[in-house]
Amino acid sequence: MGSLMSHPFVLFGRDHLIVLALTFIVPVVLALLTRRSMATVRAARLAFATWLISTWVLWFWMIFDLGWQSPQTLLPMHLCDWATIATIITLLVPNQKTYELAYFWCLCGTLLAMITPDLKSDFPDMRFIIFFAFHGGVVASTLYLTFAARLRPYLSSIPRVIGWTFVYFLAASAVDWAFNVNFGYLRAKPPTATIMSVLAPWPWYIAELAAMAIVLILIFYAPFFIRDRIASPPASD
């Protein structure tokens, strides 16, 4: 795979910034072009689902092509994997329960993974392409569902998402212990510079991650809370 011979990843370099911009621009523009027709929205949803599934298949092809088979690379136990599964289900069968998981997990987890990725190689390395095609596709799909399919989180979504995130934490911890791996970065920080680099040493940073997750959930719910308050102001005494 000749594309593996590439430059080291540059955080907030040109290629990184282009990918981040496209992750937001593509779903917004596509939503503006399709949201008036349920048929075109459905077609776009299926296109996003096909993109995510194809990228996931390409990821596994690369793993086997390079001989990287291991529990760490093969088991779908990253939070981004769970976010992807929730996103694909919502794209194929729109529903509130998986959408709210996709929305918060994508924006609180997958988006952060894109901003400070655990990545060593820059474009046009295949690992760069697959990483951002996969993670960017998940975030873009969730944004499209929000802007075009008119799905949204509610206040009742927050405890459900926190509960399922705790389920993920328990599941990832069990898999980490059973296979001596590091899903969820619960056993060690990423080897590359990420947002986790500024956190406390293990195991204290796990509590910081939990607190950060709650703050981010509230931040990403805030636009809907504000809109609801504006649309239905509290009754005066």
Find the DSSP H helices in the chain: 14-34, 38-66, 71-74, 79-92, 96-105, 111-115, 126-147, 157-179, 204-231
pLDDT for res 235: 56
| 159 or 191, which is more confident | 159
Residue 237: pLDDT band (50, 70, 90) is very low
To the nearest 10 degrees (0 to 180), the angle between helices 79-92 and 157-179 is: 130
Q: What's the pLDDT score for residue 37?
A: 92
Q: What is the mean pLDDT of residues 204-215?
A: 93
What are the backbone angles phi and psi of residue 229, rounded to the nearest 5°? -65, -35
Query: What token pair was written down for 41?
Result: 């929205």
Q: How far apart are CA 109 and CA 164, in angstroms?
A: 14
State the pLDDT at residue 5.
53
Determine the Cα–Cα distance for residues 113 and 132; give it in Å rounded to an integer. Answer: 10
CA 25 → CA 21, 31, 38, 211, 221, distances in Å?
6, 10, 21, 30, 21
What is the residue extent of each domain of the chain?
A: 2-224
Q: Summarize the confidence of residues 45-70 as an average pLDDT.
A: 94
Note if the pTM is more than 0.85.
yes
pLDDT of residue 6: 66
Cα separation values, 145 from 1, 53, 150, 165, 202, Å:
35, 17, 6, 21, 36
- pLDDT tens figures, 119-166: 888 998 999 999 999 999 999 999 999 999 989 999 999 999 999 999
Residues 12-41 have pLDDT tens digits of: 999 999 999 999 999 999 999 999 999 999
